[in-house]
Amino acid sequence: MCKPDMAPVYPQASSYPHLADLIRSERAQVDRRIFWDEEVYKAEQQQIFARAWLFVAHESQIPDPGDFIRTTMGEDDVIVVRQRDRSVQAFLNACPHRGNRVCMVDAGKKARGFICNYHGWSFGIDGALRGTDGKVYDTDAHFEKAQINLTPVAQIESYRGWIFATFDPDAPPLTEFFGPFTFYLDAFLDNDEGGTEFIGGATRNLVDCNWKFPAENFVGDILHAFWTHQAGAAAILGGGVDLGPHYAERAFQASVFGHGIETNLDKVGNTRTLGYPELVQYVFDRYPAMVERLGETRARMVGAIGSCTIFPNLSFLPGQNTVRVWHPRGPHQIELVSWTVVNRAMPEHIKELYRKGVMMTFSPGGVFEMDDGENWEYATRTNRGFVTRHQPLHYALGLGTEAPEKGLPGHVCRGSLNDANQRQFYRRWSEFMRHDNWGDLQAAETAPPQHQEAAE
């Protein structure tokens, strides 16, 4: 007699050298077809979003057993649930019977389980099938309930309260996926006792752009602020964007495995743009404690002009305290979900000022968010033109600025006005297209330079 095998299926990666070659690192160029072609998008789902560790939730969003939040990993709808033993698990939001979604809401508290609306199949918060409609299957002697679950992600891990998951059973542990980039992450996730929390819910909006434009913007493009954000900055600061020439020598970009941060080391430049002098003062007041905790360089990063992307699609802005995921929705659209992040230890009124400041700047109606959105939309849409999308794009600012510095892990370049991190981001993208295994992926060019590992 035939018997269904309901074990999870995690799709295998392949190798697409012809897509990998769309990144022309030797010429500092990127082929525009990566922002437009369906074939590329399809390969990204398989090579990147079905393999990489992806951000799914912050621990503070689901504090108690049964608390859940819905998100997507690539285009896969996922439910992230706090278990009774307080661990966190994540499942595909799709019934293994006919594939209907089992959870219709964005988030909830203390769920008892998830019931499919189609035939009444009912799953516990642990994903196990607890029962069906209760009439027909229970009289079917060959029906094996124990074999049936909501499909779990292959791995799920938390780093300082930030929860990531992957559909690849072979993916290395999360901290290996970050590599020594955790050095920079810790400046934001761990600059005060108790770590971070998300406050005030999420904002959510659609932008008609390819997901890589915002990801590369946050990985290392502070250059655009001079032009794009002049008017918005003037409205809040009373003047244009000024990166401060006296910081030019301190500013740098750093990248590991395609993750990247650019920072001006100016202590408060980003925080200042939220428009509340009290917040600027708060960051200054905490500076000595942060130096104690993180050392001078990282303490200067906390509120500074800077931006960061964790490959592939999680980004945040130090000092402005907005966190966001650029969820791909086809090659020409993203769903942008963003949150305000604060330190748990901050006084309530300081948290509230950050929340308001984020809403005024980086929300669907924020002055900076709107500045960016239109640029990314047209950077995508122009590629509708067949001839247009065959023209290469220029990523050559700051060639030859590599400046390895003791104590700064990864590929480090002088100056934050630089395409260095964006080149690394696309190099990583190319590696994901080319390699079908993690051994090659973690030994590829974007890996931290060898001599550093020996030094640490």
Partner 1 sequence: MMERICDLAAVPDGEILRVELSGYRPLAATLLDGRVYVFPDTCPHAAESLSKGWVEDGRVVCGVHFAEFGLADDEVVNRPVGCPDLVKFPVELKDGAVYADLSKAEAA
Which residues form the interface with partner 1 (CB under 8 A)?
112-113, 115, 120, 122, 124, 130-135, 138-139
The per-residue b/e assignment along 90-129, b for 16 or more CB within 10 angstroms, e otherwise, is bbbbbbbbeeebbbeeebbeebebbbbeeeebbbbbbbeb
* Closest approach of partner 1 to the CB of residue 93, in Å: 18
Q: Which is nearer to partner 1, 82 or 355 (CB)?
A: 82
C-alpha 274/C-alpha 281 separation (Å) is: 13
* Closest approach of partner 1 to the CB of residue 137, in Å: 9
Tell me how crowded residue 386 is: count the other CB atoms within 10 A of its CB.
8
Q: Which is nearer to partner 1, 84 or 394 (CB)?
A: 84
Tell me how crowded residue 407 is: count the other CB atoms within 10 A of its CB.
12
Q: Residue 48 has what DSSP assignment?
A: I
Tell me how crowded residue 165 is: count the other CB atoms within 10 A of its CB.
25
- Tokens representing 381 are 């849409």
Tell me how crowded residue 275 is: count the other CB atoms within 10 A of its CB.
18
Q: What are phi and psi of 168, to 5 degrees?
A: -110, 110
* Closest approach of partner 1 to the CB of residue 101, in Å: 17
* Closest approach of partner 1 to the CB of residue 111, in Å: 10
C-alpha 263/C-alpha 102 separation (Å) is: 43
* Closest approach of partner 1 to the CB of residue 5, in Å: 24
Q: Which is nearer to partner 1, 136 or 235 (CB)?
A: 136
* Closest approach of partner 1 to the CB of residue 94, in Å: 19
Q: Which is nearer to partner 1, 120 or 172 (CB)?
A: 120
Q: Which is nearer to partner 1, 150 or 199 (CB)?
A: 150
Beta-ladder partners of 70 = 79
Q: Which is nearer to partner 1, 118 or 284 (CB)?
A: 118
